[in-house]
């Protein structure tokens, strides 16, 4: 993926990798992994981690594992495994035969735990969860040793084996590392390594009723796969001493190193599987792949391209600094990508009928439209012009302000690729709503012909009444009205922070014919934005289009106008 490597070649992790390889000399190799927990769909934050891990592997010629961190059967599901595989593949990355599961290593975790016990480095705890908490101390006070800390190796082994055999209830016992109850780092105060969970696991079934903690399973999995650089987000920084402790106290072949970087936070949305799941649960969105969701599946359904997501990840870079990235950065990535590749078409979202009174009834004419303004190789197409047309309601005003260069009573406008028309009469319904315009066209003004010399200020898009197709268009916008919904402390419910206009459905739209046959291909509706057919709901008979992004960043303007000064 050379398009993402050059711009991001200098971040601090790549520098570390580079000097690692220099020190390693000939035969040195970098190995990375992306380790999702299959407890939800991947989001744009995960895309950052995927691009980092797979990107480094590609750039430095090493392998990258896709490893499912499936150690918590209560929250995980096979359907999430499948969704994650689809998403990583869609982003354009390849793990070859390196698809692994932490659950594959359960026997190794168990043997590792026995080794720690034998070496006097782990013990079976029998305090309740509340007691364990009380013994742990606080940030300012050291913890106290558990009364069970002094159990003999034999007793520990026996109890641990019986835990495995299912002889105890959940919470009755746990296995803890014996490290230091006075450590200033709470993670080092005899952290739990194993707990009893009488739960069915999607892959190992009922084979196990004890499950390892992330902090224990993760470093061992890394070592088993010979991961050299275990890249994770900053919240694990305080866990690193424990990560190193686990590696040091076991005889595993690998010697991985954990390096932390800041997570991606995106404005006006949330990037946490738990919070996204809550939105689905409450019915605020229509599933993990709702086009308003910052999930990879949502972005895909919305019409984002893999290239644009990777470009975004390259642009935001990798640092240790916490920050919030503006949605406009993501939108710009897709806008730029689509500007280059999306064919232009015409669609009218809120149609107003126009009848050309001086056009012969029944006659049609073929006009030539370019598919891309600066890519002649993308070709041209024929569009039908005739007596009945549709234009956008917004492109007509009965009593417009001065600088309105579109259509007004008695005014003229050019129809894109077509003729100049003049509004002669306005037809209204009983309530005074404009329902049709009676216009005349000037036959000497056809676009592209020598005689088309006369100029008017405005050009608008349109579709023909004869062959345009009815369609539904879904206009998506930000999901929230506040930049940092998960940090909002106004006391409002998350539902009160939702943008009521995050989805506007327009059901009476008209689009050029032929578009419904181009399912999945992003197009630009001229003057309106980029759109793609919805993968769930669109049919050839009734096309449904999702707005991917507007043509310009309208929010930036609004925010600028609202900011003081």
Residues that bind ligand ATP (CB under 6 A): 35-37, 45-46, 48-49, 69, 232-233, 263-264, 271-274
CB closer to Mg ion out of 37 and 553: 37
Active site residue 195: no
Which of Mg ion, ligand ATP, none does residue 36 bind (CB under 5 to 8 Å by kind)? Answer: ligand ATP
The catalytic position among 197, 263, 350, 518 is 263
Which of Mg ion, ligand ATP, none does residue 263 bind (CB under 5 to 8 Å by kind)? Answer: ligand ATP
The 3-class secondary structure across 478-538, one letter per residue, is CCECCCCHHHCCCCCCHHHHECCCCEEEEEEEEECCCHHHCCCCCEEECCCEEEEECCCCC
Helix (H, G, I), strand (E, B) or coil at 314: helix
Minimum distance from residue 329 beta carbon to ligand ATP (Å): 14
Q: In degrees rounded to 5, what are phi and psi of residue 113?
A: -65, -40
- At which residue do the structure tokens 């009521």 appear? 500
Minimum distance from residue 138 beta carbon to ligand ATP (Å): 25
CB closer to ligand ATP out of 385 and 480: 480
> Interface with Mg ion by CB under 5 A: which residues?
37
Helix (H) or strand (E) holding 229: strand 229-233
The catalytic position among 164, 189, 195, 273 is 273
CB closer to ligand ATP out of 56 and 421: 56
Cβ–Cβ < 8 Å for 320, 355: no
Determine the residue with CB nearest Mg ion: 37
Question: Which of 432, 468, 65, 343 has the alpha carbon at shortest distance from 228?
Answer: 65
Helix axes 306-316, 327-341, angle to 10 degrees: 140
- At which residue do the structure tokens 């935001």 appear? 316
Q: Which two tokens stand for residue 389?
A: 């047309």
Minimum distance from residue 208 beta carbon to ligand ATP (Å): 20
For residue 330, give every residue at least 6 positions away whose Cβ sits within 8 Å of its Cβ, in sequence order, or none. Answer: 44, 266, 312
Which of Mg ion, ligand ATP, none does residue 284 bind (CB under 5 to 8 Å by kind)? Answer: none
Taking the C-alpha atoms of residue 420 and residue 495, their distance in angstroms, rounded to an integer, is 49
Minimum distance from residue 184 beta carbon to ligand ATP (Å): 24
Minimum distance from residue 44 beta carbon to ligand ATP (Å): 7
Cβ–Cβ < 8 Å for 493, 481: no
Taking the C-alpha atoms of residue 350 and residue 395, their distance in angstroms, rounded to an integer, is 10
Cβ–Cβ < 8 Å for 37, 43: no
Question: Which of 381, 352, 388, 349 has the alpha carbon at shortest distance from 514?
Answer: 381
Which of ligand ATP, Mg ion, none does residue 151 bind (CB under 5 to 8 Å by kind)? Answer: none
CB closer to Mg ion out of 89 and 274: 274
Strands 388-392 and 380-386: unpaired
Q: Which two tokens stand for residue 24?
A: 């390693």
Taking the C-alpha atoms of residue 412 and residue 460, their distance in angstroms, rounded to an integer, is 11
Active site residue 235: no
For residue 271, give every residue at least 6 positions away whose Cβ sits within 8 Å of its Cβ, in sequence order, or none. Answer: 43, 44, 45, 263, 264, 265, 294
CB closer to Mg ion out of 37 and 521: 37
Cβ–Cβ < 8 Å for 388, 353: yes
Minimum distance from residue 37 beta carbon to Mg ion (Å): 5
Which of Mg ion, ligand ATP, none does residue 46 bind (CB under 5 to 8 Å by kind)? Answer: ligand ATP
Determine the residue with CB nearest ligand ATP: 45
Minimum distance from residue 111 beta carbon to ligand ATP (Å): 25
Helix (H, G, I), strand (E, B) or coil at 260: strand
Taking the C-alpha atoms of residue 459 and residue 416, their distance in angstroms, rounded to an integer, is 6
Taking the C-alpha atoms of residue 64 and residue 30, their distance in angstroms, rounded to an integer, is 9
Which of ligand ATP, Mg ion, none does residue 35 bind (CB under 5 to 8 Å by kind)? Answer: ligand ATP
Angle at 276 between CA 272 and CA 279, to 5 degrees: 150
Taking the C-alpha atoms of residue 93 and residue 89, their distance in angstroms, rounded to an integer, is 5
Question: Which of 267, 269, 270, 271 has the alpha carbon at shortest distance from 326?
Answer: 267
Minimum distance from residue 161 beta carbon to Mg ion (Å): 29
CB closer to Mg ion out of 178 and 239: 239
Which of Mg ion, ligand ATP, none does residue 49 bind (CB under 5 to 8 Å by kind)? Answer: ligand ATP
The catalytic position among 37, 86, 172, 521 is 37
Taking the C-alpha atoms of residue 488 and residue 267, their distance in angstroms, rounded to an integer, is 12
CB closer to Mg ion out of 10 and 79: 79
Minimum distance from residue 72 beta carbon to ligand ATP (Å): 10
CB closer to Mg ion out of 78 and 495: 78
Active site residue 275: no
CB closer to ligand ATP out of 63 and 143: 63
What's the DSSP call for residue 356?
A: E
Minimum distance from residue 72 beta carbon to Mg ion (Å): 9
CB closer to Mg ion out of 119 and 235: 235
- At which residue do the structure tokens 């590792």 appear? 112
Q: In degrees rounded to 5, what are phi and psi of residue 243?
A: -55, -50
The catalytic site residues sit at 37, 263, 273
């Amino acid at each position: 993926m050379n398009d993402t490597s050059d711009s991001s070649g200098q971040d601090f992790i790549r520098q570390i990798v580079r000097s690692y390889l220099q020190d390693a000399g000939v035969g040195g190799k970098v190995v990375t992994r992306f380790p999702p927990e299959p407890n939800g769909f991947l989001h744009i934050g995960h895309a950052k981690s995927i691009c980092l891990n797979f990107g480094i592997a590609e750039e430095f010629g090493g392998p990258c594992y896709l490893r499912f961190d499936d150690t918590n059967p209560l929250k995980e599901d096979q359907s999430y495994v499948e969704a994650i595989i689809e998403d990583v593949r869609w982003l354009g990355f390849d793990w070859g035969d390196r698809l692994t599961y932490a659950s594959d290593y359960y026997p190794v975790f168990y043997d590792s735990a026995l080794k720690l016990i034998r070496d006097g480095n782990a013990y079976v705890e029998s305090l309740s969860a509340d007691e364990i908490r009380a013994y742990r101390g606080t940030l300012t006070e050291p913890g106290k040793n558990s009364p069970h800390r002094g159990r003999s190796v034999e007793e520990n082994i026996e109890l641990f084996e019986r835990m495995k055999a299912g002889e105890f209830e959940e919470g009755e016992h746990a296995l803890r590392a014996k490290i230091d109850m006075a450590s200033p780092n709470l993670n080092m105060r005899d952290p739990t390594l194993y707990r009893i969970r009488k739960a069915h696991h999607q892959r190992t079934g009922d084979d196990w009723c004890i499950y390892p903690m992330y902090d224990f399973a993760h470093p061992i999995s890394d070592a088993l796969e010979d991961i050299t650089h275990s890249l994770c987000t900053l919240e694990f920084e305080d866990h690193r001493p424990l990560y190193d402790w686990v590696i040091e106290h076991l005889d595993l072949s690998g010697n991985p190193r954990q390096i932390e970087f800041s997570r991606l936070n995106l404005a006006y949305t949330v990037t946490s599987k738990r919070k996204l799941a809550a939105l689905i649960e409450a019915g605020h969105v229509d599933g993990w792949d709702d086009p308003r969701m910052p999930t990879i599946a949502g972005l895909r359904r919305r019409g984002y391209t893999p290239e644009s997501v990777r470009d975004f990840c390259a642009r935001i870079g990798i640092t240790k600094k916490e920050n919030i990235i503006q949605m406009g950065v993501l939108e710009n990535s897709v806008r730029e990508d689509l500007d280059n590749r999306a064919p232009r078409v015409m669609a009218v979202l809120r149609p107003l009928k126009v009848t050309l009174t001086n056009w012969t009834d029944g006659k049609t004419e073929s006009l030539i439209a370019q598919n891309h303004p600066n890519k002649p190789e993308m070709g041209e197409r024929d569009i039908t012009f005739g007596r009945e047309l549709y234009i956008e309601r917004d492109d007509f005003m009965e009593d417009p302000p001065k600088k309105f260069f579109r259509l007004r009573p008695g005014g003229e406008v050019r129809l894109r690729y077509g003729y100049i028309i003049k509004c002669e009469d306005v037809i209204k319904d009983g309530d005074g709503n404009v329902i049709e315009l009676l216009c005349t066209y000037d036959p000497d003004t056809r676009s592209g012909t020598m005689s088309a010399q006369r100029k008017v200020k405005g050009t608008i898009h349109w579709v023909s009444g004869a062959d345009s197709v009815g369609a539904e268009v879904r206009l998506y916008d930000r999901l929230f009205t506040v930049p940092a919904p998960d940090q909002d402390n106004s006391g409002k419910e998350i539902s009160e922070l939702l943008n009521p206009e995050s989805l506007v459905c327009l059901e009476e739209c008209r689009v050029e014919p032929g578009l419904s046959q181009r399912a999945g291909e992003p197009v630009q509706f001229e003057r309106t934005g980029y759109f793609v057919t919805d993968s769930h709901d669109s049919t050839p008979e009734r096309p449904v289009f999702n707005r991917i992004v507007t043509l310009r960043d309208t929010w930036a303007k609004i925010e600028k106008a609202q900011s003081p000064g």
